[in-house]
Structure 1
Amino acid sequence: MTTSPYHLPAGRAAAGPYAVDVSPETAGWGHSGLRVLRLPPGGTHSFGTGDSEWIVLPLSGGCTVTADDDFGSGTFPLAGRTGVFDAVSDFAYVPRDARATLHSPGGGRFALAGARCTRRLPARHVPASAVPVELRGTGACSRQVNNFAAADVFACDKLIAVEVITPGGNWSSFPPHKHDEHRPGEESVLEEIYYFEFAAHDGIPGLGYQRVSPSGRGRGTDVLAEVRDGDVVLIPDGWHGPSMAVPGHHMYYLNVMAGPDPDRAWLIRDHPDHAWVRATWPDRPVDPRLPLYTAPERSA
């Protein structure tokens, strides 16, 4: 197993109040960012959004998000969830050039997914019931995708973000794919962050493996990493996948993406050696362990 500057084990990307603090500057790229914030019961945290749009997504626990700017303020209670393997979460969007304040009466952990942007969109709250839950792949490639801020689901200027849950023993991000060339209608240029969590078994922490291989473009990113709770993998370019969950431990990752293309779109190209795998999916059943959960029913 090789080491790579693009694999950040838990704690390596910590800074100030954040357990994870990946910015365009620290990543050495132009657009995508991710912070993970832990708040104790009664805890409060404020930050300026600057030139980026942000989504506040509870990983565990709930909070209230207040967005203040020259156009007014809005307050959004987030019910959250007990953990990423238990439920879909509601979330809040905070625009650029604003100030965001999180207050958590019961404490919790919160992902702040960000992207540099030019347009200023309104602050909003999205209930968990509005999050599409997709089952992607079949057989050992089955995974669950919570498309809370997918490009065709929720309006942002640049930010794209989804959650992926891979049952123990399965492969996701497979076939390997990339998005590091601007090919209108075929492929987007997107920097991507993977943030991992794992379900424990009898108190034993889980783990998985992440592969990124050079595509012949950009930095020639090459990663083969054993990933555990709180780890981050940066993907500026390259074929990424598979993401492998060891048997007995479900794997979660949060994907945060943004890039320079004029259109906000998730367009990917499968690795030519493995693209045939996708054609086998209709002939196999979806893993019966999925979905782990569905979005709650919308209230009338």
Structure 2
Amino acid sequence: MNLLVKSKAEGRDVVALAEGVLTYVGFSAHRLSVGERLPVSSQDKEICLVLLSGRISVTGEAPGQGRFDWQNLGDRQSVFEDKSPFAVYLPPGSQAEVTALSAVQIAVCVAPGDPSADLPARMIAPDSMKRSVRGKAANTRYVCDILPDSEPAHSLLVVEVRTPSGHSSSYPPHKHDEDDLPHQSFLEETYYHQVNPPQGYVFQRVYTDDRSIDQAMTVENNDLVTVPKGYHPVTVPYGYESYYLNVMAGPKRAWQFHNDPQHSWLLDL
């Protein structure tokens, strides 16, 4: 299984995870020109739309809620701005349409939904998202929790991370592939990458303890990395900045990870 999904340089559909590759996580990213529309149907899933850049309006209908209409969302032109994104949560059975009011980049994050939970569709404002700094020295990175486990959803966890030039991220290597709470949770994951300047690249490795998975990848702008299990660190070459959008989901909505014991000594530095 090739864990790297290459992006397309042109067209509306930038990159997508093929149906059935993962059990819990689905993902696609899109670019829209002014006036272009993107229809979204959640069916039996739940969806988090993350506005990466540009301005949009989102209209639609959700079960038991009726129509919703959020106009003129968006105030960042790049994921590398020091700003949180706008996002929209759609429960199962929702129908929505995204209209681009400028050049737009948008991500569609998908996971199993629970229609009986009666969660409403909602707009998630940037000022409601927790921002934090994680790590230290050349392990420092900047985190924005878009849809954490403290906010209502059935399966989805969504977070974005900016990593400075020359730094490592998702590091020391950690994993979350065992249903062993409170010590570790089982969560599949995708990494949607952007690089600044865009001609750059980052390195990501995905590996398991028994090396049944062990892939080291050169990841370019807009590429997607699939993490069905295992450790998954990222390294950013000097001169370039890294952005990635993480989508996680599993049988239980909790994020508990386990560091690779071979590298856990790094936490003592």
Name the TM tier (shorter chain): over 0.9
2:201 is aligned to 207
Q: In 1, are the aligned partners of 2:5 and 2:17 still within 8 Å (CA)?
A: no
C-alpha contact 2:62 2:90 (8 A) present in aligned 1: no
Cross-structure match for 2:258? 269
CA contact (8 A) 1:67 1:94 kept: no
Structure 2 residue 181 is the aligned partner of structure 1 residue 188: no
Q: RMSD of aligned C-alpha atoms? A: 1.9
Q: What residue is the counterpart of 2:158 in the other structure?
A: 161
In structure 1, distance between residues paired with 2:63 and 2:113: 18
Secondary structure of the residue that 1:168 maps to in structure 2? coil
Pairing 1:139–2:133 present: no
Query: Does the alignment pair 1:114 with 2:105?
Result: no
* Gap regions ≥5 residues in structure 1: 281-300
Query: What is the alpha-carbon distance in structure 1 between the residues aligned to residue 181 and residue 101 of structure 2?
Result: 47
Superposed displacement of residue 215, structure 1: 2.7
Query: What TM-score results when the alignment is normalised by the length of structure 2?
Result: 0.93
Q: What is the aligned length? A: 264
Deviations 1:174-210 (A, max 9, x none): 111111111120101011000100111xxx7221100
| CA shift in 2, pair 1:32/1:24, >3 Å | farther
Q: TM-score, normalized by length of structure 1?
A: 0.83
The 1-side partners of 2:118 and 2:205 are apart by: 36
Inter-partner Cα distance in structure 2 for 1:84 and 1:214:
30
**Cα offset, 1:276, TM superposition:** 1.8
Structure 1 residues 32 and 265: CA distance shift in structure 2, 3 A:
same
* Corresponding residue of 2:244: 253
Matched, 1:63 2:59: no
Corresponding residue number in structure 1 for 2:78: 83
CA contact (8 A) 1:7 1:223 kept: no
Determine what percentage of the aligned residue pairs are the same residue.
31
Deviations 1:223-269 (A, max 9, x none): 2001110111100011111x0111111000110000123xx100000
Counterpart AA for 1:267: Q
CA displacement 1:151-191 (0-9 Å, x = unmatched): 23x22110001001100100011111111111120101011
Structure 2 equivalent of residue 44 of structure 1 = 37
Is the contact between residue 177 and residue 240 of structure 1 (CA under 8 Å) also seen in structure 2? yes
1:10-39 CA deviation, whole Å, 9 max, x = no partner?
Answer: 239x9x9522222551x2x21101111211
Are the equivalent residues in 2 in contact too, given 1:43–1:107 (CA < 8 A)?
no
Q: Secondary structure at the match of 1:252?
A: strand
Distance in 1 separating the partners of 2:146 and 2:40: 23
CA distance in 1, matches of 2:39, 2:231: 37
Q: In structure 2, what residue type is equivalent to 1:228?
A: E
Aligned position for 2:216: 224
Distance 1:91 1:49 in 2: 15
After TM superposition, the structure 1 = structure 2 runs for residues 10-21 of structure 1, keeping only pairs within 5 Å, are: 10-11=7-8, 17-21=12-16
| 3-state DSSP of counterpart to 1:276 | helix
Checking the alignment, whether the CA contact within 8 Å between 1:196 and 1:229 is kept in structure 2 is: yes
Give the ranges of 4+ consecutive aligned residues of structure 1 lying more than 2 Å apart after TM superposition: none
Pair 1:33 & 2:22 matched: no
